[in-house]
Structure 1
């Protein structure tokens, strides 16, 4: 995140942090006004790229953006000499997700339905500073950032099955974050129906770092040219965003 923001700033982006958006309103000329706890902003075109907070932002506009915040959590060991030279993943979750029927009321490819675990999910590797970092749980708990110790241990146990070395290393730190999951598993990228000069980019689920840069470019190109790239057809917001 820091690297992305620094690169954007170097190209002229003006990034403001700590702004709690209170109100969004469209003016008669089609421009937008954004009111935060620290000031007021105006723009000809507004792009909503608020990730797991898409639904409450949609509420400000009277629309339903069907994004569920999913908590992911990670853990890391103390730095150790180079031991893992590739990103590691497990096919267990992919197999389970492919064999399960669609679940009404739950996004796809999560590890829990409510408090019930339906699969284990694993990914991770070793960072440049020597930490071994893994994670995988994806759970719908609202905006609760607290870490689930049991989930961390389940994930650590799975990592130990793949890399026995991990079982001998104590966990030095844990953290969690929110990911934006759509109900059909597809991103939501494009023009918001029913509004002028309003666009959205959300629903990248757990792969925001991987897909985010190109998704941002595709949306920027759409805004500047008024023509969406063909690859955005299945991401059309009109398929799922509705007025309340």
Structure 2
């Protein structure tokens, strides 16, 4: 049985675990730093929940279609449903670009130019708003992002995978003289809990406890957990001993943090954090059957379609950035490139485009997003919550998770109102949040083996010596770089990653790390 450790419990990680655990000869253990998989503070748990794209023949399109199929098998608990995505064209240039995309899609996308035709697809968008001249339409799907990740993780556990939450990776290294095995050292945090002196933990979302004399960790992480008895009541556990787990193969699926993990073993992985921010506004009825809005405005129908705009897509296409464009310097490694398809090249930088996507969730909220800010490096100032709660009205505080700029929220909301004017009558935002997306300069995912090409120069350190040996790197894999389509492609990326692990090599030239990475030869 070949043991595989998967570092990162997002959509890619849990999907890879499910595929591996369902395959003969492999066991999978997912290590997740947060208290839950697809945590709301990370991209897999903070996205809009739209499965977009998939109407072409590229690898990305195939990954989207595979993800959509996987989500459709998870049942009604994740709120999955097929829908149409409608992308508003605000001028003739955007409509011309949409017509071109529709022609290239070979019939899977189309442009709607009349209100009569749109009334059959999405009545909530009829009549057309004043500056809308048409819509690019294609088949898509929506699902609730948190339940989706949890459902895949549960399926992986039923197939035999282990999912260890609250395990933060501290060190990653090959084991000298082991024939290519790896050692992962973690520090453990919640969901381990102390309750009245008992060893508490979470299993399948339910709180459970063990007697104080039973010191074996219920997550079977091969560690003894040590607590201080603080009396009655549930309290956070104190610092615990480090956990060391060994395996034959390690797969990195920790989003933008894969760059940091790969650097530990001398691999320069070009994945950069881009902050995306979102907001939600409640519909008066939560059902969408023509509920009255404030101020006597016309009823606001909740669209069943996912709504977007062609403004940003057209701008990014015309701007024509590509992999390798020069960008911002950084302390070590290659410069941070100017990333394509972002709204801001840097924190506080000038806005380049308005971007919009929105859907209505199962609770009847509009979930909307737009701004994409390239951060280059992550600091407390560009990811942390500013102020904790933002005062919006005299009677309500709006919870904020992550750093959010109100200017971006205003621009984004105005953009949505230019397509659905009645949104302006729905009252203030009820919550705001952001998360970091893993972005690559090529906007292609990076999935496969992190072993360097044989032509890259002298071999890495000899087995048992200094540096990272090639044999070990053959057993190190990565699956990251979903950019803004991490939820859309994530499950498919996880399956591709698992198949690479099973094959022992990269399988797709388009996503092969050898096309993107650099190796610090002979160094760790």
TM band (smaller chain): over 0.9
1:139-186 deviations in Å (ceiling 9; x for gaps): 123431311111111111101101112111221011111100001111
State how far apart, in whole Å, the 2-side matches of 1:10 and 1:72 are.
33
- The reply on whether 1:184 has 2:442 as its aligned counterpart is yes
Verify the 8 A CA contact 2:339 2:345 in the aligned structure 1: no
Match of 2:314 in 1: 95
Per-residue deviation, 1:11: 2.4
Match of 1:233 in 2: 509
Match of 2:491 in 1: 213
Please tell me whether Structure 1 or Structure 2 has the larger radius of gyration of its CA atoms: 2
2:267 to 32, 57, 63: 63
State how far apart, in whole Å, the 2-side matches of 1:227 and 1:52 are.
22
1:11 to 159, 180, 183: 159
Verify the 8 A CA contact 2:270 2:441 in the aligned structure 1: yes
* Secondary structure of residue in 2 paired with 1:116: coil
* Secondary structure of residue in 2 paired with 1:112: coil
Match of 1:77 in 2: 281
Verify the 8 A CA contact 1:218 1:228 in the aligned structure 2: no
Match of 1:107 in 2: 339
Q: 1:193 to 1:111 in 2, by over 3 A?
A: same
Match of 2:421 in 1: 164
* Secondary structure of residue in 1 paired with 2:162: coil
Per-residue deviation, 1:225: 2.7
Verify the 8 A CA contact 1:76 1:131 in the aligned structure 2: yes
Per-residue deviation, 1:75: 0.5
- The reply on whether 1:174 has 2:380 as its aligned counterpart is no
- The reply on whether 1:36 has 2:186 as its aligned counterpart is yes
* Secondary structure of residue in 1 paired with 2:474: coil
Per-residue deviation, 1:6: 2.6
* Secondary structure of residue in 1 paired with 2:434: strand
Segment of structure 1 superposing worse, 129-138 or 191-200: 191-200
State how far apart, in whole Å, the 2-side matches of 1:238 and 1:228 are.
9
Verify the 8 A CA contact 1:193 1:241 in the aligned structure 2: no
* Secondary structure of residue in 2 paired with 1:234: helix
* Secondary structure of residue in 2 paired with 1:224: helix
Q: 1:62 to 1:228 in 2, by over 3 A?
A: closer
What is the aligned-residue RMSD (CA, Å)?
A: 1.5
Q: 1:36 to 1:25 in 2, by over 3 A?
A: same
1:54-106 deviations in Å (ceiling 9; x for gaps): 21112211221111101111100124332111001110011000011425222
Aligned residues: 242
State how far apart, in whole Å, the 1-side matches of 2:450 and 2:441 are.
17
State how far apart, in whole Å, the 2-side matches of 1:17 and 1:165 are.
42
Show structure 2 runs of 5+ residues with no match. Answer: 1-148, 189-242, 289-301, 327-336, 384-401, 453-472
Verify the 8 A CA contact 2:277 2:371 in the aligned structure 1: yes
Show structure 1 runs of 5+ residues with no match. Answer: none
Verify the 8 A CA contact 2:474 2:504 in the aligned structure 1: no
State how far apart, in whole Å, the 2-side matches of 1:174 and 1:12 are.
37
TM-score normalised by L of structure 2: 0.45
